[in-house]
Amino acid sequence: MEADFYRQYYALEGRHWWFVGRREIFLRVIRGRLAGADHEILDFGCGTGAFLPHLERFGRVSAVDGDENAVAFCHERGRHEVVHVPADALLPFDDEAFDLITALDVLEHIEDDVAAMAELRRVLKPGGILLAAVPAFMFLWGDQDEISHHFRRYRAGDLGARLRRAGFSVEKTSYFNTLMFPPIAALRLVRRRVRAPTSERTDFTIGPAKLNALLGRAFGAEAGLVARSRLPFGVSLLAVARR
């Protein structure tokens, strides 16, 4: 990601509707698969670290990120256990070390995502869970993908195939951020054709507080649907896979 945007994201992660809604979805999916609070957990590509305290309710959390700017913001947040590991490097963990690995909006940043998945499988215990989330549909490609240094957006079949190539058994895929799909898709497509000189390059502006709260609740309300079923389209895509 472009370094100038890390400060903005660091400030917004606790309250922007997109971060709030996706957090509820991820936590619901994890709760449905992990009993108790004594698990070993890795947050792979943890960004500025806002999700780490939420993962701690399930056990002991380790975290890495491939961007030194992100790691610096984690340390600023007080998460000094977060370490910098380049995207193409081996992870500094033993084989079969973790019960759960989260890779939330990180695989799209890695050129050889299958190799990264295989390395995640190495450090996952037999039967352990990988929860991955990625942006969906290449036709939604826009400035947000450019400033985030994405290599791709995914379809469900493609993500599942890549996980299987890395040796995983795919338990579930589902799109999410489905309610907001029509307006976001329309906005992305319009931006390709008409761009005002003052247009924001990033989608992450907070907007009016009441609207932000409403959008957060609406997005988070998808959590039950995603946990129970497979939504057929959305701005984002998740997969649950096991070693």
Q: Which CATH number fits domain 3-242: 3.40.50.300, 3.10.310.40, 1.10.8.60, 3.40.50.150?
A: 3.40.50.150
Please give the Cα distance from 129 to 168 (Å, whole number): 10
| Residues of the chain above pLDDT 70, percent | 89
**What residues does each domain of the chain span?**
3-242
* Residue whose pair of structure tokens reads 């033993």 in the numeric block: 94
Cα 142 to the center of its chain, rounded Å: 17
More confident residue, 104 or 202: 104
Please give the Cα distance from 137 to 20 (Å, whole number): 22
Confidence tier at 239 by pLDDT (50, 70, 90): very high
Contact 231, 222 (CB under 8 A): yes
pTM of the model: 0.90
Angle of helix 156-165 relative to helix 113-122, nearest 10 degrees, comes to 50
In the beta sheet, which residues pair with residue 174? Answer: 238
Q: Kindly tell me the number of DSSP H helices and DSSP E strands found in the chain.
A: 10, 7
